[in-house]
Amino acid sequence: MKYFAIGAHPDDIEILCAGTLAKLKDAGHTIAMASLCNGDKGHFLIPSKELAEIRKKEAEASAAILGAEIHVGLFDDLGIYVDRPSVEKVVDLIRLVKPDVIITNAPNDYMMDHVNTSKIVIEASFVATLPNYKTSLPPHTSIVPIFFMDALAGINTQPTEYVDISDKIKIKEEMLLCHQSQYKWLKEHDGVDYVELMKSLSRYRGIQCGVEYAEGFTQYTVWGRIKPVRLLP
C-alpha cells in the first residue's frame, strides 16, 4: 500500500507522524510526503526566497532517510486558502501520487495553514476521483481513508488510534533535526527546543496507551472512507 503524509509546512510530518511512517516503511509499504507550503515565512532574518530553498532541501533530506517520495511548496506560507485554485493543485498532487491512505493535519490545529491543509485534503481527495473533474492528470481510482495527526502539543485532540513508535523515536528525531533552520531559530529566538516538544508529546501519547513513545491519530469517519481493516501499524 502507498501512504501519503500531507502536512502544511516542512517539519509538520516529522513532529507528528514520522515514527508511524518509519514503521510503515519497515512493513513494506511505500511512503510519500508533502509539505503544501514552502516554509518561506518561518524566520525573522532569512529572506523568504532563500528560506524556501533551504526548507525544501531540509524536507528532501528528511524524506531521504525513509527513501520517501517528497513534494514541497505548492503555496507560500499563509497563502493556502480553501478555494478552487488551491483544491485543484492538491487534486493533481493526489492524482500524481495515487495513495491508498492519507495522513494529514488536524482540522482544529493552531493556525490556518494547518486548518486549511486539512480541509483542502478532505475535499481534494474526493474530487481527485471524479472523471468529469478535468485536470492535467487522470483521476485517482478510489476515495481513500484519511487519518488526522495530532494538533501541535496535542491540544484539543483526543486520538482514536495509537501507534507504538518506541523503537522509532531515534529515526523520528533524526528526521526532525534535518530541519535545522527551524530547530536553531526556535531554540535561539523563542527558547523552544522542538525536538523535546516532539518527544514530550510522544511520551504523553505513550503513557495513554501503555508504551514509552506513541503517535496519536483520529480517523476521518464518514461514509465511503471507513475500511473494515486496521490501516495503521
Residue 77: closest CA among 36, 23, 122: 36
The CATH number, out of the four listed (3.40.50.1950, 3.65.10.10, 3.40.50.10320, 3.30.70.1140), of the domain defined by the range 2-219 = 3.40.50.10320
Q: Which residues touch 182 (CB under 8 Å, ≥6 apart)?
A: 10, 11, 39, 42, 55, 58, 194
- How crowded is residue 126: how many other Cβ atoms within 10 Å of its Cβ? 20
- How crowded is residue 174: how many other Cβ atoms within 10 Å of its Cβ? 15
Domain borders along the chain are: 2-219
So what's the pLDDT on residue 122? 98
- Determine the Cα–Cα distance for residues 15 and 7; give it in Å rounded to an integer: 10
**pLDDT digit string (tens) for 129-164?**
999 999 999 999 999 999 999 999 999 999 999 999
Stated as kind and residue range, the H or E segment containing 6 is strand 2-7
The answer to whether residues 129 and 92 touch, using CB atoms and an 8 Å cutoff, is: no
Q: Using 50 as the pLDDT threshold, list the residues of the chain that sit under it.
A: none
Does the pTM exceed 0.95? yes
Q: Which three cell numbers stand for residue 117?
A: 491543509
So what's the pLDDT on residue 190? 82
The answer to whether residues 141 and 129 touch, using CB atoms and an 8 Å cutoff, is: yes
So what's the pLDDT on residue 212? 98
CB contact burial 68-81 (16+ within 10 A = b; e otherwise): bebbbbbbebeebe
Q: Helix (H, G, I), strand (E, B), or coil: what is residue 213?
A: coil
